[in-house]
């Protein structure tokens, strides 16, 4: 009987020792868990911030636009209008659609990153072919522009900019209806900007027809006056532009770019 009692005590002590050892090990793991959990949480938060951060477009007026990507890359298109503060963010990319003075005020962009690239209509039409530039944070595709007496299709381009999250922005540049516009509908463009001054380019009626060809999710009028007028946004002209998903973006207004 005594042997049985001793045996049972021995078993109980072994079980108790194992339980304590396991608990101690668990406590050690738990001691590491808070730090690891915090690191994992921080990493997840950073990843979420990158996933949720949206690109933004600042309409500076006339044909001048600034895009800040989700990676904080800064793209200027057709610099001309806008106060100095609008050109303060350091440029990573400068695009120009053609050589007229109201699209080539490059001296306004004094702040540029070391690897800043400039793509004008010359590079965009190298070899007489519309070029595509893959920059990682954005893909820039040159497309047709011109087709009127003031703008030669061999010396003018528009751009389709595809951001890293897939958002596509079409900037017509100075143009009338182009032969390529129906094909642009296949790209499922999210935001399309159409010039509509009716003096050197197409008017709002023709621009509205172009919007129907391109079939972007959102269509936006811009470049709605002559540069020498001193007026770089005209609400009355903008209201005459008609399109499905129309957005009117005023001079100095920022637009979040989302699918």
Q: Please give the average per-residue pLDDT across 139-157, as a whole number.
A: 96
pLDDT at 53: 83
Q: Is 151 exposed, middle or buried (0-12, 13-18, 19+ CB in 10 A)?
A: buried
Asked whether the predicted pLDDT for residue 33 surpasses 70, the reply is no
DSSP-based three-state secondary structure for 217: coil
CA 89 to CA 68: how far, in whole Å?
A: 9
pLDDT band, very low/low/confident/very high, at 16 (cuts 50, 70, 90): very low
Q: Please give the average per-residue pLDDT across 160-187, as a whole number.
A: 97
pTM: 0.80
pLDDT tens string 213-251: 999 999 999 999 999 999 999 999 999 999 999 999 999
pLDDT band, very low/low/confident/very high, at 27 (cuts 50, 70, 90): very low
Q: Considering only CA atoms, which of 191, 195, 241 is closest in space to residue 216?
A: 191
More confident residue, 23 or 110: 110
Q: Considering only CA atoms, which of 251, 250, 258 is closest in space to residue 83?
A: 251
- Ordered alpha helix ranges (H), 53-100: none
DSSP secondary structure code for residue 167 in this structure: -
Q: Is 247 exposed, middle or buried (0-12, 13-18, 19+ CB in 10 A)?
A: middle
Q: Please give the average per-residue pLDDT across 138-164, as a whole number.
A: 97
pLDDT tens string 66-96: 999 999 999 999 999 998 999 999 999 999 9
């Amino acid at each position: 009987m005594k042997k049985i009692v001793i045996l049972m005590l021995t078993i109980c002590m072994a079980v108790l020792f194992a339980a304590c050892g396991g608990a101690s090990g668990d406590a050690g793991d738990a001691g590491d868990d808070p730090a690891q959990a915090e690191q994992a949480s921080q990493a997840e938060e950073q990843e979420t911030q990158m996933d949720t951060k949206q690109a933004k477009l600042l309409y500076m007026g006339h044909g001048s636009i600034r895009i800040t990507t989700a990676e904080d890359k800064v793209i200027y298109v057709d610099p001309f209008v806008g106060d100095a503060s609008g050109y303060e963010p350091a440029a990573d990319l400068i695009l120009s659609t053609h050589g007229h003075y109201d699209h080539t005020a490059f001296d306004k962009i004094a702040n540029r990153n070391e690897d800043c690239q400039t793509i004008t209509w010359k590079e965009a039409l190298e070899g007489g072919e519309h070029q595509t530039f893959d920059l990682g944070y954005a893909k820039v595709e040159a497309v047709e522009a011109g087709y009127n007496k003031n703008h030669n299709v061999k010396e003018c381009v528009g751009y389709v900019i595809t951001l890293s999250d897939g958002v596509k922005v079409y900037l017509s540049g100075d143009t009338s209806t182009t032969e390529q516009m129906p094909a642009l509908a296949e790209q499922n463009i999210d935001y399309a900007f159409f010039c509509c001054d009716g003096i050197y380019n197409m008017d709002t009626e023709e621009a509205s027809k172009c919007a129907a060809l391109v079939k972007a999710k959102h269509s936006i009028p811009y470049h709605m006056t002559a540069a020498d007028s001193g007026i770089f946004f005209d609400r009355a002209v903008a209201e005459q532009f008609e399109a499905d998903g129309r957005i009117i973006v005023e001079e100095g207004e920022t637009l979040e770019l989302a699918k």
